[in-house]
Amino acid sequence: MRTRRDFVKTAAAAIGAALAPWRARAQAPVTPATPSPAGGRPYDVAVIGAGVFGAWTAHYLAQAGRRVALVDAYGAGNARASSGGHTRVIRMGYGEQEVYTRWSMRSLALWKSLFARIGRPALFQQAGVLWMARGQDPLTTSTLKTLQRLGVRHERLSRAEMDARWPQIDFGPNTWAIHEPESGFLMAFRSVQAVVDAATGGGVDYLQERIAPPAGGKGPLAAVAGGSGRTIQAGAFVFACGPWLPKVFPELLGERIFPTRQEVFYFGAAPGDARFRSPAMPVWVDFAEEIYGLPDVEGRGFKVAPDRHGPAFDPDSGERVVTAETLARVREFVGRRFPGLKDAPLVQGEVCQYENTSNGDFLIDRHPERENVWLVGGGSGHGFKHGPAVGEYVAARILGGGSVEARFSLATKQKVQQRAVY
């Protein structure tokens, strides 16, 4: 399994002629829904999963005039979802992976537009993002080139400038940094709920319902069954289920998407100490040590999270209690990098999950045997920020328009021998 650092450093594997059949399928629009034999009115599209990908997809489909159902088993932004949690980073830096920088730029504009429209601009916090670097690190130098090429506002800071601007940070072996002053973080579960509210305000039907995995077979899917006995009919189905995708489609995705357990820690600064709150503290990333963090916001504590893949995790039944072992490693890092927090108490811990694809890229493609079923997921720990751009892209694919990004195809997600275990 590749690390997230490996993913950012390297481009996706060459795809070539193997993708020609996929491109042909991806260009064909979905057939509109037809009335059921019983006379009921099906939806044009049913979106299964009200996380950030599903919510934005439903929102854009409704804006295009489609009748849409948005369904989630536990609720939008719930604690089990990859879109849950208090905050998520939004940054533009992605090494040479230009598509993600472009999508981050597009998504930030769309997030801000939505928040302004609903009167909740504080759901995005422009704290800035500080990317620490050592020597001629190829990931950071390629990021710098991409930001320059795309016109992203940024600063290249020397060690002396870093020390002067953020004296509360001991940068250790880091010798320079990239600072993105217009980036920052999103209030995560609240942002997802805001998208769902906007979608329902635009005509989307929101249902809290557990959906049974579709039965095997080929050809168009006519309906899905809910746990309450409800049947949802639609002309097209979008399964944007995040870490549940390999449960819903085990034979297809069980060896392509891998939910992993990720621990997050919040440390409490001393009373009245504002050095670890925004604007004094930015979002920061130390890729060399595979760790990142966010400033204290709303009194929740200074957030620190290891950015390496954890063990396999079941999003339904997995215990969400942080471990003493990981806490000890994080405390040691915090004591070195942020001396003012050396003896700070842990005020909160969280366990979430990544749903990593086998190559780190998103999965956005049709089911290979059911032409009206779309698979959308594989956020791989970096997907939340891209929700608006993903929603635009998926809606365009379903409606038969827009360009095709080959790296998101199922064909690029090779099976690996680390099958998800539930």
Asked if 62 and 204 touch (Cβ cutoff 8 Å), the reply is yes
* 259-270: burial string, b at 16+ Cβ within 10 Å, e else: bbbbbbbbbbbe
* Ramachandran angles phi, psi of 139, nearest 5°: -65, -45
Domain total of the chain? 1
- Residue 61: count of CB within 10 angstroms of its CB: 29
Asked if 47 and 69 touch (Cβ cutoff 8 Å), the reply is yes
H helix or E strand, kind and range, residue 261: strand 257-267
H helix or E strand, kind and range, residue 374: strand 370-377
Indicate whether 79 belongs to any domain. yes
| Exposure of 336 in the CB half-sphere (CA atoms within 13 A) | 12
Looking at residue 59, its pLDDT comes to 98
Cross-strand bridge partners of residue 356: 258
Q: Domain residues for 155?
A: 4-412
Indicate whether 419 belongs to any domain. no
For the whole model, what pTM was predicted? 0.91
Q: Could you tell me the two tokens for 13? A: 């594997």
Residue type, 208: Q
Indicate whether 61 belongs to any domain. yes
- Rounded to whole angstroms, the Cα distance separating 138 from 90 reads 21
363: Cβ–Cβ under 8 A, 6 or more apart, which residues? 245, 253, 256, 257, 357, 375, 376, 377, 378, 408, 410, 413
H helix or E strand, kind and range, residue 46: strand 43-48
Looking at residue 13, its pLDDT comes to 36
DSSP-derived letter for residue 40 is -
DSSP-derived letter for residue 310 is -
DSSP-derived letter for residue 303 is E
* Ramachandran angles phi, psi of 245, nearest 5°: -55, -45
For residue 142, the domain's CATH number is: 3.30.9.10
Looking at residue 372, its pLDDT comes to 98
Indicate whether 420 belongs to any domain. no
Indicate whether 418 belongs to any domain. no
In the numeric block, the tokens 């805001």 are attached to: 194
- Residue 280 in 3-state DSSP? coil
- Rounded to whole angstroms, the Cα distance separating 198 from 190 reads 12
Interaxial angle between packed helices 98-117 and 138-150, expressed in degrees from 0 to 180 and rounded to the nearest 10: 60
In the numeric block, the tokens 């020397």 are attached to: 158
| pLDDT tens for each residue of the chain, 422 residues long | 345 445 444 333 333 333 333 333 333 443 333 333 333 479 999 999 999 999 999 999 999 999 999 999 999 999 999 999 999 999 999 999 999 999 999 999 999 999 999 999 999 999 999 999 999 999 999 999 999 999 999 999 999 999 999 999 999 999 999 999 999 999 999 999 999 999 999 999 999 999 999 998 999 999 999 999 999 999 999 999 999 999 999 999 999 999 999 999 999 999 999 999 999 999 999 999 999 999 999 999 999 999 999 999 999 999 999 999 999 999 999 999 999 999 999 999 999 999 999 899 999 999 999 999 999 999 999 999 999 999 999 999 999 998 999 999 999 999 986 544 44
Cross-strand bridge partners of residue 377: 363
Asked if 240 and 47 touch (Cβ cutoff 8 Å), the reply is yes
Exposure of 32 by Cβ count < 10 A (0-12 exposed, 13-18 middle, 19+ buried)?
exposed
Indicate whether 421 belongs to any domain. no
- Rounded to whole angstroms, the Cα distance separating 103 from 127 reads 20
Looking at residue 21, its pLDDT comes to 35
- Rounded to whole angstroms, the Cα distance separating 54 from 242 reads 9
Asked if 69 and 261 touch (Cβ cutoff 8 Å), the reply is no
CA distances in angstroms from 76 to 110, 167, 357, 381, listed in the order given: 19, 39, 23, 18
- Rounded to whole angstroms, the Cα distance separating 238 from 338 reads 44
Indicate whether 277 belongs to any domain. yes
- Rounded to whole angstroms, the Cα distance separating 25 from 44 reads 19
Indicate whether 65 belongs to any domain. yes
The closest of 277, 269, 270, 268 to 295, measured between CA atoms, is 277
